[in-house]
Amino acid sequence: MATQLYFSRDTKCYIEFKDVVWEMPILDGFSFSQANNTSEISLTEMESSGGVSRRGRRAFNDSLAAGEWSFSTYVRPFQADGAALGTGSADAAEEVHAVEEVLWAMMAGADTYTAGAYTRTANAVSGPVITPATNQSTLTFAESNRSTFETANIYFVMGDANRTVIKLKDAVVNEASIDFEIDGIATINWSGQCSEVLDFSGSVIEDSAIPVDTDVTRDSTGASDTVAVGDVWLDSNDSYRLYVLTAINSGADSGHTTYVNEALTDSDNFIRNRLTQLSINGANTTGLLSGADAYKLTLTGGNITISNNVTYITPEELGVVNVPIGHVTGGRAVSGSFTCYLALDTTAMDGSGDLSRDFFEDLRNLTTTVTNSVHQTFMIGGAPGRRLEIDYPTAHVQIPTHSIEDVISLETNFMALPSTIDGTNEVSLTYKI
């Protein structure tokens, strides 16, 4: 008997969204899991005349909990080559995109993908979720005030022989987190939920040609079966690229998803964290310095987190193990922190300076301001050059705390707030090249 083992480094990830499949290069440390919800009953009684007290218990599976997944990607902006869609290109125009942008689109409320743009077609508020252009691509959350988001299917193809395919059905992006590590490459940590985690290997065809509607042998099981919509085709003639069958045509090739895999092998679209800059403008709050770069802070680290606070709803009926039937969004939360050395401009000892000690003092002196408003822009990768800019027009900044180390530092926490309580303009992201 031969034993097949699977190694994480042989794994490929694909995201199916709106009849298009994006190949997503992920880092080591990805995970997915699904547990079940159980209940327990126990016997507790007094001692019988025979000196016996029953103390047994029973457990019952009530339902499946929502599946959970997480993985990391690099921040990788690029300019599309302008080739026709369906050839792997991200855009038929030579405009800026990012390898990981489908995840941002899912997180921000997109429900369609057409000609390189992610938009909202049903009950749209203000148009595109992502707007690509020649030198930059901008993401807004204007369409994110939704109780539910459009879902995607995420596939993990594991192994280089006898491949196992895991399907995360009806997946949503819950959270994106960016950590600033000085010597690292700009990375986004993604996490979310799905309704089911399925071993999909029984619905996978490995072949060098597009399947037809006649019986086929599925390599993963050796069983003869009929091709069906939703099955997965791994193209053995093209590095086992994943397609999902969308239509079964009698006596002809099956319809299947197109794919996007542009810039995956490029080596010049990574971003270095060490070049990251922060611009702070306190013009919205009396008592703080105003100007495009009012406070000059050089970062030593930090974090930015955007969360949808998604929860899945699961019925619980007696005698049935139910699966989640859908998700709902919670309050959108955008927050973060950054660290810098405690620094003083010795030529501005009167408190008029613009370094970190002055920033601390100015915030501490806001004794009559209940909510301060600071315009912050993180330029991950520096400026100019290839970068990701994250803009917070009206961020509320907490008073920095001192960290006593070899070199004394300040840590500052903030939360991004919209201009109105029901607004969606607390954050925007712009990829630039």
DSSP states of 137-179 as a string?
Answer: EEEE-TT---SS---EEEEEEE-SSS-EEEEEEEEEEEEEEEE
* Of 89-103, 185-199, 311-325, minimum mean pLDDT range: 311-325
Residue 220 has pLDDT above 50, yes or no: no
Count of CB atoms situated within 10 Å of the CB of 413: 15
pLDDT exceeds 60 at position 223: no
Contact yes or no for 24/51 (Cβ under 8 A): no
Q: What is the length of the chain?
A: 433
Enter the tokens of residue 221. Answer: 């099981």
Instruction: Say yes or no to pLDDT of 352 above 80.
Output: no
> 310-351, pLDDT tens digit by residue?
999 988 888 888 889 899 999 999 999 999 999 988 887 666
Cα dist from 237 to 19, 158, 159, 183, 283, whole Å? 21, 18, 17, 39, 59
Write the pLDDT tens digit of every residue in 7-60.
999 999 999 999 999 999 999 999 999 998 888 999 888 888 888 888 889 888
Please, what is the Cα angle at 44 between 42 and 48, to 5 degrees?
135
Which tokens is 133 given? 């252009």
Between 39 and 305, name the one with better pLDDT.
305
Give me the pLDDT at residue 224, please: 52
* Rounded average pLDDT over 364-388: 91
Per the prediction, the chain carries an average pLDDT of 91
The reported pLDDT for the residue numbered 231 is 94
Helices (H), 87-136: 101-107
- For the entire predicted model, the pTM comes to 0.92
Q: How far apart are CA 189 and CA 56, in angstroms?
A: 45
Do 281 and 296 touch, CB atoms closer than 8 A? no
Confidence band, pLDDT 50/70/90 cuts, at residue 225: low
Mapped onto helix, strand or coil, the DSSP state of residue 225 is strand
**Which residues are within 8 A (CB) of 6 and not within 5 positions of it... i.e. 6 or more apart?**
158, 159, 164
Tokens 């993990």, residue?
156
Strand 374-380, strand 333-341: pairing: unpaired
Question: What is the structure's pLDDT at 38?
Answer: 87
Q: What is the pLDDT of residue 287?
A: 92
**Range of weakest confidence among 67-81, 245-259, 400-414:** 245-259
**Could you read off the pLDDT of 248-286 as tens digits, one per residue?**
887 788 899 999 999 999 999 999 998 899 999 999 999
R_g of the chain computed on alpha carbons: 26
In terms of Cα–Cα distance, which of 187, 156, 184, 183 is closest to 169?
Answer: 156
> What local confidence, expressed as pLDDT, does residue 317 receive?
84
d(CA 66, CA 73): 23
Instruction: Please determine, for residue 217, whether its predicted confidence score (pLDDT) is greater than 60.
Output: no
Give the per-residue pLDDT at 351.
66
For residue 25, is the peptide bond before it cis, meaning its omega torsion is within 30 degrees of 0?
no
DSSP helix, strand, coil percent of the chain (3-state; round to 5): 5, 45, 50
d(CA 300, CA 140): 27
CA distances from 277 to 26, 384, 403 (A): 26, 10, 21
User: Is there a contact between 32 and 192 (Cβ–Cβ < 8 Å)?
Assistant: no
Does residue 111 surpass a pLDDT of 80? Answer: yes
Which pLDDT band, with edges at 50, 70 and 90, does 218 fall under?
low
**b/e string for 91-125 if b means 16 or more Cβ within 10 A?**
bbbebbbbbbbbbbbbbbbbbbbeebbbbbeeeee
Whether residue 328 contacts residue 147, with contact meaning beta carbons closer than 8 Å, is answered with yes
Is residue 216 scored above 80 in pLDDT? no
Q: 3-state DSSP call for residue 57?
A: strand
